[in-house]
Structure 1
Amino acid sequence: MRTVAAASEAQRRAWRTGGYPDVERVRPGLWSIPVPIPINPLRYVLVYALELPDGVALIDAGWNTEEAYAALVAGLRTAGYGITDVRAVLVTHIHPDHYGLAGRVREESGAWIGLHPADARLVGARYDDSRIDELIEQERLLLLRCGVPPLAAEELAGASKMIRQFVSAAAPDREIEDGERLDLPGWDLRAVWTPGHSPGHLCFVEPERRLLFSGDHVLARITPMVAVHPQSAPNPLADYLDALTAVRAWDVDEVLPAHEYRFLQLAERVDAVMAHHRERLAEVESVLAAAGGSSCWEIAAKLTWSRPWEEIPAFMRRGANNETLAHLVWLEARGRARRVPGEPDRWYPA
């Protein structure tokens, strides 16, 4: 898939060489702070600090580890601030690398935490110790209906439980609605609801500065996971593609994502991502035409991935399966695939 021009050559070089970018002053009053992510090929999340008259507001926060917290504190120090100067944490979505440190930052600074309502509703079930087993059981049943062998379904259903240690669970203080203008002095920041990667994913656009803070919604090189799972919307791929169309309409000069590097040419990148999903949908249809009556798990194993199916780690196979299911559901909703319910569900060409 074609990539777009980098807005920061230093960030792009760091990404390509496996290093970490420096803290950068992107614009007057705006800083980019790389915060490391443990045991993850993405390596870091880019936290953005927006200067206010009395401190800073953050977009995302990072994972809750000592290394990540130290990097965030050091980055703020480079910008001339301390952790106690943080006034707000605008969380693009509730995945641990974005939301994990928000609670700790609030404890240290008194900052308010903001999330979209659709993600705010998921916090308890995802991060409350007393409720996590229910969510894991829902995932196990979903995997069984996809045709995952029972023993593998048992293992994969709880595979992401270990990353909960990287989250300081904190209920948001504010729910940020689609189109809301954030009360941040000196900034004309608007929230744009972009569901798909998570039900409540938010981007933030700054029309005057012609900037888009895109979270995981649009990245320079890779595409975010859009999957069916117990906390997803019924048709997350449809939501994601609609949200891409909405974001494409914003006339901005630069995109500031949460991973990889800042880039230009938003419309071109959105077009490339949408073309990628059209190709993926066509590939799924081709597999269905050749082997109708397959389970989702069987279809996923026949698709093209970054490596042979047999070499994909078990945890990543769960993601691949659930992504495949998102594409099947999209096709089903448009009458291009047919599902026969059962254990497992069987999929056929329309």
Structure 2
Amino acid sequence: MRDGVEQTYPDHPRPKLTYPFEHGPRTGEAVDVGPGVKWLRMPLGGALAFINVWAIEEATPDGKGGWAIVDTGMGGTATRDAWRTAFAGPLAGKGVSRVFVTHMHPDHIGMSGYLTRKFDAKLWITRLEFMTCRSLAADTGREAPDDAVRFFRAAGWDDDALDNYKARFGGFGRALHALPDSFHRLNDGDEIAIGGRTWRIVVGSGHSPEHACLYCPELKLMISGDQVLPKISSNVSVFPTEPDGDPLTDWLTSLARIKTKIPDDVLVLPAHNDPFHGLHARIDHLIGGHERGLKRLYDLIAEPKRVVDVFHVLFRRTIDQNLLGLATGESLAHLNCLMARGQAVRTRDDNGVDWYRAVA
């Protein structure tokens, strides 16, 4: 999973979002969220328990009709069984016409290969998401590269944390059913007929390279994936493959752009938690929360700090070994953002550890 470590603080209260549904679907069930649009949940386990996926009814050339599926759940037998239950229940009588995936994290793309092969359907996804996913899946079974070990040592990880990372490296591909071998490319601004209505592709970045949201003006629905979530902040991290990246600036810019592209009256269909109204207020809250986090971080590094020294000003939760990777990546995203703004500098000591200091 790539959900963020919550960064809400008491001085930044949540906006008053509204949730029109009393409860969500149980596994194998569906809830109608609009004409021809169904909400299903696939099991995840862990803190989030499930991911929301969406089925849009549409006509097919054979006249039987089919379901355009948006996001697919984590690879594995539990998700496969949940899909089988759904196709014996609320989705019965129709196959899958297309599979849309918002982005390349395993809980979204994990079962795309299963569904596309079972129903001879095409995967629709942005190019960067597809290619990045294939690249990460290729690491399965590899030893952790030296560059990655140096990356986390520079963040201040001790030998135990590095050994744990080495032991767990290469697990991305294990959460995927074998990926489809081809895809249909989604582009920002594409207008696609799904279920007899126009859905517009609005691309964001920062959480992932080229994340596709799907917006239907007629139905006033927005499938937001992980780009906008109602109760948690999307994970925005720096990874060893691009240690000098600035994904937080990308994400904040994307959120501001989405606010100009999608009106506030939509029902947002997120990947996690429940559908909600209040898109613009939630975007403002997310941007404001991260700007406050950046200010707290700037104040903290008046004296030089390592990455592992800054967690307490960004996260409410205690950071244990299970959260260390996420917290490190998100903290680096904030530090790199400060450096990109000219507000911080980095120096590396003789032990290969990076120290960050604020500048006026």
Q: How does 1:270-289 map to 2 (within 5 A)?
A: 270-289=283-302
Residue 333 of structure 1: how far off its partner (Å): 0.5
Distance 1:32 1:255 in 2: 12
1:159–1:303: structure 2 CA closer, same or farther, 3 Å change rule?
A: farther
Which residue in 2 is equivalent to 1:175?
185
| 2:43 is the counterpart of 1:30 | no
In structure 1, runs of 5+ residues without a counterpart are none
Mean alpha-carbon deviation: is it higher for 204-213 or for 227-236? 227-236
Choose from 71, 87, 99 the match for 1:89.
99
> Per the alignment, in what secondary structure is the counterpart of residue 141 of structure 1?
helix
Mean alpha-carbon deviation: is it higher for 229-238 or for 264-273? 229-238
Q: How does 1:314-329 map to 2 (within 5 A)?
A: 314-329=321-336
In structure 2, runs of 5+ residues without a counterpart are 1-12, 60-64
Which residue in 1 is equivalent to 2:3?
none
Q: Kindly tell me the number of residue pairs found equivalent between the two proteins.
A: 335
> Per the alignment, in what secondary structure is the counterpart of residue 105 of structure 1?
helix
Q: How does 1:95-244 map to 2 (within 5 A)?
A: 95-128=105-138, 132-133=142-143, 137-157=146-166, 159=168, 161-162=170-171, 164-170=173-179, 171-231=181-241, 234-244=245-255
Amino acid at match of 1:315: N
**Contact in 2 for aligned 1:93/1:115 (Cα 8 Å):** yes
TM-score by length of 1: 0.88
CA RMSD in angstroms, aligned pairs only: 2.3
Amino acid at match of 1:58: I
Which residue in 1 is equivalent to 2:18?
5
> Per the alignment, in what secondary structure is the counterpart of residue 188 of structure 2?
coil
**Contact in 2 for aligned 1:332/1:338 (Cα 8 Å):** yes
Distance 1:156 1:330 in 2: 25
Amino acid at match of 1:168: H
- CA deviation map 1:88-111 (0-9, x unaligned): 111111111101100011111111
Residue 204 of structure 1: how far off its partner (Å): 0.9
1:264–1:158: structure 2 CA closer, same or farther, 3 Å change rule?
A: farther
TM-score by length of 2: 0.86
**Contact in 1 for aligned 2:99/2:121 (Cα 8 Å):** yes
Residue 158 of structure 1: how far off its partner (Å): 5.1
Distance 2:171 2:204 in 1: 27
Residue 42 of structure 1: how far off its partner (Å): 0.8
**Contact in 2 for aligned 1:45/1:259 (Cα 8 Å):** yes
**Contact in 2 for aligned 1:124/1:131 (Cα 8 Å):** no
**Contact in 1 for aligned 2:139/2:173 (Cα 8 Å):** no
> Per the alignment, in what secondary structure is the counterpart of residue 314 of structure 1?
coil
> Per the alignment, in what secondary structure is the counterpart of residue 139 of structure 1?
helix
Residue 139 of structure 1: how far off its partner (Å): 2.9
> Per the alignment, in what secondary structure is the counterpart of residue 189 of structure 1?
strand
**Contact in 1 for aligned 2:140/2:172 (Cα 8 Å):** no
Which residue in 1 is equivalent to 2:307?
296
Which structure carries more strand by proportion? 2
Percent identity, aligned pairs only? 26
Distance 1:283 1:193 in 2: 30
Distance 2:136 2:193 in 1: 29
Residue 185 of structure 1: how far off its partner (Å): 4.7
1:165–1:131: structure 2 CA closer, same or farther, 3 Å change rule?
A: closer
Distance 2:283 2:87 in 1: 31
1:123–1:131: structure 2 CA closer, same or farther, 3 Å change rule?
A: farther
Residue 339 of structure 1: how far off its partner (Å): 1.2
Residue 317 of structure 1: how far off its partner (Å): 1.2
> Per the alignment, in what secondary structure is the counterpart of residue 41 of structure 2?
strand
| 2:315 is the counterpart of 1:305 | yes
- CA deviation map 1:42-62 (0-9, x unaligned): 111111000011201111000
Amino acid at match of 1:147: G
Distance 1:133 1:201 in 2: 29
| 2:80 is the counterpart of 1:69 | yes
- CA deviation map 1:293-346 (0-9, x unaligned): 22112223x4353333xxx33131111011000000011101111112451121
> Per the alignment, in what secondary structure is the counterpart of residue 51 of structure 1?
strand
